[in-house]
Amino acid sequence: MSEQYEPVIVGFLCNWCSYRAADLAGTSRLHYAPNMRPIRVMCTARIEPQFVLKALRDGADGVLIAGCHPGECHYVEGNIKALRRHILLKQMLRQLGVEEERVQIVWASASEGNLLAQAVDRMTEELRDLGPLRWKQTVLSGNGHGKPASVAPTAVAEEV
């Protein structure tokens, strides 16, 4: 309990820009928060809303989607489609009580390792402020029927 709460971010990075940005951040030996678990996808348009919801349900505190800048998509406008989904998904998540800092989209080209690193740093701090999400424990607990045991978002600090 004494340890500082470390948010878990699931990162979906596009193969052509942002995964390479992450590579660059690594090879440039940039120091940034180790909280993102990167997953490479071919394009941000591959990311189904189901992926994001599943990550949130199964223990992630936030989801970061990173792809090429608009106009630079390897598949012409996959990232625009991803942005459309993302905006609608955020509107829906607001109704479900998920803060908008928890699901973010950023654009980082292959040469922008520093931007990606900054985005991860910034998001980690934002999630630290918000506290853990712990969807299964706080929202679906108590047999799913009763009042959840604890709904205070900042009550628990533990390594997930």
Partner 1 sequence: MYWAASCGGCEISVLNIGDKLLDVDAAYDVAFWPVAADFKYDDVRGYPDGYIDVCLYNGAVRNSENEEMAHLLRQKSKVLVAFGSCAYEGCIPALANLTTKEAIFRSVYQDNPSIDNPDGVFPQPVSEVPEGVLHIPEFYETVKSLDQVVPVDYTIPGCPPEPEQIWAVLEAVTAALTAGAELPPAGSIVGAGTVAVCEECSLEKNEKTIERFYRPYEITPEPELCLLEQGILCMGPATRGGCGALCPQVGMGCRGCYGPLDDVEDQGAKMLSAIASVVDVGAPDEEEAELEEKIAAAMDTLADPAGTFYRFSMSKSLLQRARPDGGRPTGGRPTGGRPAE
Q: List residues near partner 1 by CB under 8 A.
A: 48-50, 53-54, 56-57, 69-73, 76-77, 79-81, 83-92, 94-101, 104-108, 115-116, 118-119, 122, 130, 135, 138-140, 142, 144-148, 151-153
Residue closer to partner 1, measured from CB, 2 or 116: 116
Residue 53: CB minimum distance to partner 1, A? 4
Residue 34: CB minimum distance to partner 1, A? 17
Cα dihedral 122, 32, 18, 79 in deg (nearest 10) = -10
Residue closer to partner 1, measured from CB, 2 or 51: 51
Strand-by-strand arrangement of the 9-14 sheet:
36-41, 9-14, 62-67, 103-107
Residue 15: CB minimum distance to partner 1, A? 18
Q: Three-state SS string across 8-32, please?
A: CEEEEEECCCHHHHHHHHHHCCCCC
Residue closer to partner 1, measured from CB, 2 or 145: 145
Compute the Cα dihedral for 124, 127, 132, 138 and give only its sign.
Answer: negative
- Give the Cα separation of 77 and 151 in Å (integer): 40
Residue closer to partner 1, measured from CB, 6 or 103: 103
Helix (H) or strand (E) holding 104: strand 103-107
Residue 76: CB minimum distance to partner 1, A? 7
